[in-house]
Structure 1
Amino acid sequence: MNAASVGTVIPFIESESRQIQLTCADLILYYLEQIGVEYIFGVPGGAIEPLFNALARFSRQGRMPRALVARHESGAAFMADGYTRESSRLGVCCATTGPGATNLITGVASAYEDRIPMLVITAQTALPNFGRNALQESTQESIHVLGMFDCCTRYNSMVSHPNQLERKLIKALTAAFSHPKGPVHLNIPYDILGEEMNVQLGSMFNLQEILQEPKTIDEKGINKLCQRIRCSHKVVIFLDKGAYSAIDQIMEFAELTQIPIVTTPAGKFLVNAYHSLYHGVFGFAGHASAHKVLLDKDVDLILAVGTNFSEISSGGWDAQLLTDKLVHIDANRDNFPYSPMAKQHLVGNLQLTFSALIQQANKILDAGYPFPGKAFAMPISDQDRPLNYVTLHHPTNIKLEDEHFHIAAGNKIKPQQLVYNLARLFPDNTRFMVDAGNSWAWMTHYLSIRQSNNYRIGMGFGAMSWGIGAAVGTALGNRFAPVVCVTGDGSFLMSGQELTVAVAERLAVIFVILNDRALGMVKHGQRLGGGEAIGFELPKVDFAMMGKAMGADSYVIKKSSDFMALDIEKMCRRLGPTILDVHIDPEEVPPIGNRLKALGRPGQAS
């Protein structure tokens, strides 16, 4: 999410120096309204009541934001995450004191690892009752909630006086949009949240100006990089999720220079899978084609953009990647300690950095000098394809682990087939949300979509059931595009109740449940890694019946013909969610070998 696009400004700041009385909760809403925030996701409770009272007053006036009640606080945080990714507006979630606040933590930690800007508001016991064992007290003398949030937020503070609120709110929002971006937390006692204060409307901060991203570049570093590229034999661009803000400029640069592109699993959403320069995913559940291009022995320069070289993104810290061939380009200096071996570190606004690289490249090309990216396309040989491969309509530059998956054996649904058909049958503007577990592996490897930024995954923290809440938040961020959440039966049993939010809001979210009666990644990880077979079994659950009980349209899918018979267009138009309870072949092995390698266990690399 770009700080420059925090939302549509709703003008409410008045030029005259007029004072009005507002509660602290009202003041928070005034500022969120200013940057176009539409929802506050949360669960109400006693100590957070002043904030919900303020939301009720705003609602009566027809103003935003409005309350969006989740069924569990972790779901609220996941919804705020999904909403931010889709709408480019600030995600906001809230919870009451004690267990309400602690329930948020997994969702907040997930946003922290994925660097999603988010404002988290939790209530606190009234100030006079600190240390008196009040109900759900979460002060330093009891369950220290502020301390718990300290490790998963970019800014974390308690507001202990009304006069602190405005300053701390501005500091928090500034931190949320500064690199590294992420969630920020304000803990506000019940009595402070409801206290009235005099506010001078004409002297309120203009958040739209404050939250603009700095426009800085390293001109010397850019010139140095251009010389490196000119002197290199073969160059590859390696993109992670942090490259999002500049993807248009990066693609223009790649097309101008014909430098091939490989992404991390979390960066898969950045590029049209069918682009002639794209060779697939490197790392967890990645593609042999990406591995071949990125680690080719003749490659002497890798432009790594927006990455922290995590286990997932680097193929388990592959020693062939982490070499002095790297040039690490990032807006976030915090990522540079992860690449000490890089020959150059280039920091700056990524849009401006790549715009400057485009200008330099044009000058070089106009002068008649070639770029090393020319003629470096490495399509998969037709000899490596099945005879009827053309019927698959799969990108020719991406090599799959199993390219015969479309030839079904028996009536059991192969996850590979299902994922392929999701991309083929759903509209191009469908948003695909990928939950943790085997869904990660199947979707990373086999889903190929033509529109960039329509693929979302929460791989930083790897929280199960992230996709369920994030899908609801995504649909709220854009009601004109269908949302498909691919999740496992284990994840749905954790947070499937958030389906009722999609029912209440009449959202076209299709929950595709990979039903194998198991925690699939645990089961296959144990088998591949030689572990004991324990703790992976799940009971037989009729998820279609469960969905119907909650008000969703539901289908049981036991064979390929069941899936192909679905009216996808009708499903996408429906004002409400749909459950697809898909009974997949439980013996199909996901491409998770690199994960086992990183854990130090045997198993076949993917």
Structure 2
Amino acid sequence: MVRPAAARVSHSSSLRRTADVVVEEIVRAGCDRVFGVPGGPIGPVFDALYDRSEIELVVSRHETAAVHTACGYALASGQVGVSISTCGPGLTNSLTGLVTARQESVPLVHLAGDVPRADHGRASVQEVGPYGLDLADGYRHAVKMAIEVTHPSLARVALRRAFTVAREGRPGPVLVILPLDILTASAEIVDPTIAPRTIEAAVPDEEWERIARGLASAEKPLVFAGSGVRISGTGSQVLELAEALQVPFATTAHAKGTLPETHPLSLGVMGHARSRWAAAYAEEGPDYVLALGTQLSDLATGGYRPLAREGGTVVQVDVESTSFGKTVIPVTATLQADLRTALPRLLRIAKEIGPRRANPALERAKAGPRVEQPEDLESTAIPLSPARALADIERSLPDGATLVADIGEHGVFALHYFEVKRPGHFYKPVASCTMATGLTLALGMAMGDPRTPIVCLTGDGCMGMHGLELITAVAHRVPITVAVFNDSSYGMVKFGNQRVFGRSHPFEVGDVDFARLAEAIGAIGITVTRPGAIDRGMLELAQKEGRPVILDIKIDRETPSPGNNRYKQMAAAGTHRSI
């Protein structure tokens, strides 16, 4: 943490401001890092942070990146992420990050400043209150809750409510807007009592028994795990359920990394970028599907493909009732339940029933290779095959490392080809599909859990958006490895347009030497052009040197990713070119 050398001046208790109360609540919530970009109206909070050595301030280069990095920190540390911005463009720049936190279900509290209330409605520069941009109201659908603090006595109430709401149910972001005059006013302490919301175990055991017996007696059953399994930390129980009944399982793209894909019952990813195993099993038509912690979105279902054959059963279980009824595919029954309490009940019944008979459909599905073009994983061609580069990264990952994949063509390659061998081996933000999310999340994850080596797979397009956040990584000596698939273009869009329209702009972004850029900002830069060049030593270098390492991987510019159903969706929606 970088702090100025000047001596700090302690404020006496009689001069405590509302801003000090805000920071006290951050400490009380157990948060030891905050991420933000400073600005005038939020200045009192930054000043209050100056007096709290137990909180490290991480200054980002852009507000979106600050929110994303706080999200990554929350995912790795188990804390509620805290991000800070000023008003006006500071808060509007934060919107994309808040949407990501909502869609990725990350607990986060975002503090934003505003102009003094006396200036509301007077054409004050950057006003976000009800007489200006009115962003507390405008952002309500982007966050779980938006609160504008209108009196000093409400600050503690607002912050405690914010941290409670961010965690409860399906986690997500809460926005707290703090006008400048509120922050500088003398503190007025009101101690609130906020009871956390709980979900009662309202589903009777008879219902769980019906589900367990349905899976056990089905011809082609399937347990389909969504991101709710990762969020609730119940992957081991899902695996135990599958083993107890001997039922195959698959994950959504969003849940890849929660269950081992090397397990005999695993079909890998189903839906977006699905494996060949999952595709083959789906083609035969499962007759009983238990969908856990998924909204059954377009990406989860591969363009709204039905999960079960005609007349089959699909049971959808999620912690939020708002997850139901959002899909167009047939669903037989929905159950609102917290997987942390539901799965132990279901597992107990499953163990009493015991394993089902053999499943020939599973054997047929897994008779062939797991991925498309498996020969590409061992390609010796130059330019470097993206699949081969990914295989080299997978083979060379340090023990216990996590691969974090970004948004773009490289991310689809990772979803399809990377084989998850243990929980936590892989993470990819999928729901928001925001470019450079993976890069900034990975930075926060590396800070939040320094014991776990983080390797981020990103692209040159993503680097162009938020690559300079690596300056923050250098400043804080974050040992992160960033593997850049460099094809000098927005490859996913280019290949997608070629498939859908039969032609495309090149969407070139220029030939950037990311290894030289890395050296210029104080990181370690390495250029990779040959298959087999990436090894264990290269991916352990960041941990050894205690600073970021950027691998500029020059991949074949003409090789599209397999299994990207989004292209088919575009064509089906009528976006083809008329001739």
TM-score (norm 2): 0.91
1:292 corresponds, among 280, 284, 302, to: 280
- Give yes or no for the alignment of 1:329 onto 2:317: yes
Q: RMSD of aligned C-alpha atoms? A: 2.4
Mark the CA change 1:326 to 1:47 in structure 2 (over 3 Å): closer, same or farther: same
1:559 corresponds, among 521, 530, 534, to: 530
The corresponding residue for 1:371 is 356
Mark the CA change 1:484 to 1:325 in structure 2 (over 3 Å): closer, same or farther: same
Q: 1:52-73, CA deviations, whole angstroms, 9 ceiling, x for partnerless residues? A: 11111112xxx2x332111110
Which segment drifts farther, 115-124 or 222-231? Answer: 222-231
Consecutive unaligned residues of structure 2, counting only runs of 5 or more, are 1-12, 575-579
1:239 corresponds, among 203, 225, 239, to: 225
Secondary structure in 2 matching 1:67: strand
The corresponding residue for 2:7 is none
Offset, 1:443 = 0.4
Within a 5 Å distance, the mapping from 1:264-275 to structure 2 comes to: 264-275=252-263
Distance (whole Å) between structure 2 residues aligned to residue 104 and residue 373 of structure 1: 52
Offset, 1:29 = 2.4
Mark the CA change 1:406 to 1:343 in structure 2 (over 3 Å): closer, same or farther: closer
Distance (whole Å) between structure 1 residues aligned to residue 298 and residue 308 of structure 2: 12
Q: Which amino acid in the other structure matches residue 278 of structure 1? A: S
The corresponding residue for 2:289 is 302
2:35 corresponds, among 35, 41, 62, to: 41
Within a 5 Å distance, the mapping from 1:19-418 to structure 2 comes to: 22-59=16-53, 63=54, 65-199=55-189, 205=193, 210-211=195-196, 214=199, 216-219=201-204, 220-244=206-230, 245=232, 246-297=234-285, 299-319=286-306, 321=308, 324-338=312-326, 341-365=330-354, 370-371=355-356, 377-378=362-363, 384=368, 399-418=370-389
Q: Which amino acid in the other structure matches residue 364 of structure 1? A: I
Mark the CA change 1:294 to 1:27 in structure 2 (over 3 Å): closer, same or farther: farther
Distance (whole Å) between structure 2 residues aligned to residue 232 and residue 161 of structure 1: 60
Whether the 8 Å CA contact 2:87–2:112 is kept in 1: the answer is yes
Secondary structure in 1 matching 2:510: coil
Mark the CA change 1:377 to 1:574 in structure 2 (over 3 Å): closer, same or farther: farther
- Give yes or no for the alignment of 1:499 onto 2:470: yes
Whether the 8 Å CA contact 1:217–1:352 is kept in 2: the answer is no
The corresponding residue for 1:461 is 432
Q: 1:342-387, CA deviations, whole angstroms, 9 ceiling, x for partnerless residues? A: 222122121221111121122223xxxx5357676426666x46xx
Within a 5 Å distance, the mapping from 1:446-485 to structure 2 comes to: 446-485=417-456
Whether the 8 Å CA contact 1:118–1:183 is kept in 2: the answer is yes
Aligned residues: 557
1:582 corresponds, among 530, 553, 566, to: 553
Distance (whole Å) between structure 2 residues aligned to residue 550 and residue 351 of structure 1: 44
Offset, 1:312 = 0.9
The corresponding residue for 1:4 is none
Whether the 8 Å CA contact 1:270–1:453 is kept in 2: the answer is yes
Offset, 1:86 = 1.3
Identity across aligned pairs (percent)? 27
The corresponding residue for 2:571 is 600
Distance (whole Å) between structure 1 residues aligned to residue 179 and residue 308 of structure 2: 49
Mark the CA change 1:85 to 1:563 in structure 2 (over 3 Å): closer, same or farther: same
Distance (whole Å) between structure 1 residues aligned to residue 146 and residue 219 of structure 2: 48
Whether the 8 Å CA contact 1:214–1:349 is kept in 2: the answer is yes
Whether the 8 Å CA contact 2:208–2:345 is kept in 1: the answer is yes
Whether the 8 Å CA contact 1:118–1:184 is kept in 2: the answer is yes
Distance (whole Å) between structure 2 residues aligned to residue 239 and residue 543 of structure 1: 37
Whether the 8 Å CA contact 2:80–2:167 is kept in 1: the answer is no
Mark the CA change 1:364 to 1:565 in structure 2 (over 3 Å): closer, same or farther: closer
TM-score (norm 1): 0.87
Q: Which amino acid in the other structure matches residue 185 of structure 1? A: L
Q: 1:103-146, CA deviations, whole angstroms, 9 ceiling, x for partnerless residues? A: 11111111111121111110000111112222322233333332
Mark the CA change 1:375 to 1:358 in structure 2 (over 3 Å): closer, same or farther: farther
